[in-house]
Amino acid sequence: MEEEKVEGRDTGLIMLYLFGSVTMMIAVLGAYGSHKENRGCLIAFLVCMVIGSLVMLRGGIPIATVRPMLGDILEQKFRTALPLDTASREDRNMAESVQQELQCCGLYSYRDWEDSIPDTCLCSQAEEREGVCQNVYTARLEQKVIYEKTCFPILLHYVLLFTDIMIGFCFSLAVLALLGLALSSVMIHQMRHTLRAPMMTVPVIFSAMPPKYEELKNPPKY
């Protein structure tokens, strides 16, 4: 289990570094093209912005559409795993891991475990003093102090939070890509207009100016 967590974390970091590197390269390409007025770089940046905006919208719109239905979808999926004491070993291990991490007991109630409440549901004495626990009795009349909170509302909260972050991320990048697309399009249009501007030739006119001084060869007689 720990090896899978470490492997998943490493994969996520690699994907994050890869995405950041590609984003930085595209930004440098656009900055270089605008600074040097390089039409080729601006066209490449424009193509990247078109692809990026389409990808972000393609990912963000379905997530935003499914978001209101996530609660019902997750509830239906988790209901199939009940009761937890007769679920598969993998599901039981996952449920106990979640209970230990989130300090909760059962998906919807501690009764999800029937009469086999695991140790991951039990509270410590310090937690019992904090008022986050409750006393329950099993079918064998055994008293147990377990966590009062159930796991499903906590899981749903984190899932919706992650979904909202993904929606904001996708649409924010889509807006930035559309802005970059508009700016690069304007610059390319201006460069094309400048290249096609007609050259006006101004004729040079030379005019003979009279000399400032004239020599008097025959002075007048007095």
Give 96-152 pLDDT, tens digit per residue: 999 999 999 999 998 989 888 888 999 988 888 888 888 888 777 788 899 999 999
What local confidence, expressed as pLDDT, does residue 219 receive? 56
The pLDDT-based confidence of 6 (bands split at 50, 70, 90) is low
User: CA 4: distance to chain centroid?
Assistant: 24
**Higher-pLDDT residue of 38, 205:** 38
Of how many residues is the chain composed? Answer: 222
What local confidence, expressed as pLDDT, does residue 165 receive? 94
Which sequence spans correspond to the domains of the chain? 2-73+167-193, 77-153
Tokens of 178: 């559309």
Tokens of 147: 């966590």
pLDDT at 209 over 70: no
Q: If you average pLDDT over residues 189-209, what whole number do you get?
A: 62
pLDDT at 194 over 90: no
Q: If you average pLDDT over residues 175-204, what whole number do you get?
A: 75
What local confidence, expressed as pLDDT, does residue 14 receive? 87
- % of the chain surpassing 70 pLDDT: 82
pLDDT at 22 over 70: yes
Q: If you average pLDDT over residues 39-58, what whole number do you get?
A: 89
- DSSP letters, the chain, are -HHHHHHHHHHHHHHHHHHHHHHHHHHHHHHHHHHHT-HHHHHHHHHHHHHHHHHHHHHHHHHHHHGGGHHHHHHHHHHTT-SGGGS-HHHHHHHHHHHHHHT--SSS-GGGGTT---GGGBPPHHHHHTT-EEEEE-TT--EEEEESS-HHHHHHHHHHHHHHHHHHHHHHHHHHHHHHHHHHHHHHHHHHHHHTPPPPPPPP---PPPPS----SSPPP-
pLDDT at 217 over 60: no
116/120 Cα distance (integer angstroms): 11
**CATH number of 77-153: 3.40.50, 2.30.30, 1.10.1450, 3.30.70?**
1.10.1450
- Please name the residues in contact with 50: beta carbons below 8 A apart, sequence gap of 6 or more: 177, 181
What local confidence, expressed as pLDDT, does residue 57 receive? 92
